[in-house]
Amino acid sequence: MMKLETDRKIIQDSLDAQKTQAERNVLGQFSTPFPLAVDIMKYAKENTVTDSISFLEPAIGTGVFYSAFLHVFGENVSHTALGFEIDPHYYNPTKEFWKNSALEIKNADFLEQQPEKKYSLLVANPPYSRHHHIKSDKKKYLQEMVFLHTGIRISGLAGLYCYFLMLSTRWLKENALSCWLIPSEFMDVNFGKALKEYLLNNVDLIQIHSFSPRRFAIFRCFNYFIYRCF
Ligand SMILES: C[S@@+](CC[C@H](N)C(=O)[O-])C[C@H]1O[C@@H](n2cnc3c(N)ncnc32)[C@H](O)[C@@H]1O
C-alpha cells in the first residue's frame, strides 16, 4: 500500500514542479499532505457505515484522498469511487496511475456536472481560487445554481471553494458524510455569510477541526469541516 502512495507522490511532485506558482493559483492546485488525508479518512471511517461505500472526490488532483481511503479502509473494502479533475495536466497521469483500481476519473468541471447517482462519502480539498479568477458569466451561473439548490444568495466575492461545498450536497445520499478541507477566512468576512448559513442550517455540522501549527503548520489558516446530509 505504501508503495502505491510513494509512487503517487512522485507523480504529484513532478506535475507540480512543471507549473509556476501563479499557474497553480488560478486553479487552486495545492495538494493535501498524505498524513493529513489519512487523519481525515480515519475520522470518516469511525463515522461511516463501511459495508459498501460510494466515494466522491470533486477535485481529485492525483488522488491523495483516494490513496488515504484505501490505506485506512483497506484495499479490500467494498466500494465504488468517482473523481473529477478539470486540468488534463493532472487528469491524464492520474487516470493512468489509477487504471487498475475501482476509481473512475472524469476530466470535467465538477461545478458543471449533474449527479447521475448519489454517494455516501465525500472528501475534498477543493480549489481555493479567488473570486477574481472566476469569469463573470460563470460566477453568475454559479450564484444562480447555489440559490436554486440551497435558497441562499452568495456574494460575488466568495472563492471557488464556497461553490464547491454548497453545490456538492445534491450528489450525496441522506446521512452521507462530507469532509472539506477549506480556508478558515470565510468565518470572519462578509462573503463567508452564505457558507456559514449553509453549514448551520442546510446540513448537520458534526466537526470543525483546526490544525495544530506544530503538526501541520502550513495549514494553520485552514479548518476541515465534516457534516452529515439530511
Ligand atoms: C486544492 S487541489 C486538491 C487536489 C487533491 N484533492 C488533493 O487534495 O491533493 C484542487 C484540484 O482541483 C482541480 N480543479 C480546479 N477546478 C476544478 C473544477 N472546477 N472541477 C474539477 N476539478 C477542479 C485542480 O486542477 C486541482 O487539481
Nearest CA to 221 out of 188, 175, 177, 193 is that of 188
Q: Whose CA is nearest to atom 26 of ligand 1?
A: 29
C-alpha of residue 28 to centroid of ligand 1, in Å: 7
Rounded to the nearest angstrom, the distance between the alpha carbon of 112 and the centre of ligand 1 is 14
Ligand 1 atom 16 nearest Cα: 27
What b/e string do you get for 144-153 counting C-beta neighbours within 10 Å, with b at 16 or more?
ebbeeebebe
More confidently predicted of 125 and 230: 125
The fold of the 36-228 domain, in CATH, is Rossmann fold (3.40.50)
Rg (the chain; Cα; Å): 17
Q: Is the pLDDT of residue 61 over 70?
A: yes
- Which atom number of ligand 1 is nearest to the Cα of residue 12? 9
Say which range, 4-8, 41-45, 46-50, 75-79, has the weakest mean pLDDT.
46-50
- What is the tens place of the pLDDT at every residue in 111-124? 999 999 999 999 99
Pairing of strands 53-57, 79-84: parallel
Q: Which atom of ligand 1 is nearest to the CA of 109?
A: 20
Ligand 1 binding residues, C-beta < 6 A: 27-32, 59-61, 64-65, 84-87, 90, 109-111, 125, 127
215 alpha carbon – ligand 1 mean position (Å): 24
**Kind and range of the H or E run holding 174:** strand 172-183
The helix (run of H) or strand (run of E) holding residue 224 is: strand 222-228
Given a cut of 70, is residue 169 above it in pLDDT? yes
CA of 61 from ligand 1 middle (Å) equals 5
Q: What is the average per-residue pLDDT within 137-146? A: 96
Helix 160-168 and helix 193-201, axial crossing angle in degrees, nearest 10:
20
Domain ranges, ordered by start, for the chain: 36-228
pLDDT tens, residue by residue, 146-168: 999 999 999 999 999 999 999 99
pLDDT band at 219 (very low <50, low <70, confident <90, very high): low
Residues in CB range of 45: below 8 A, 6 or more apart: 72, 73
**C-alpha span between 173 and 166 (Å, rounded):** 15
**C-alpha cell belonging to residue 3:** 508503495
Give tens-digit pLDDT for 2-17.
Answer: 899 999 999 999 999 9
If pLDDT is split at 50, 70 and 90, which confidence band does 213 have? low
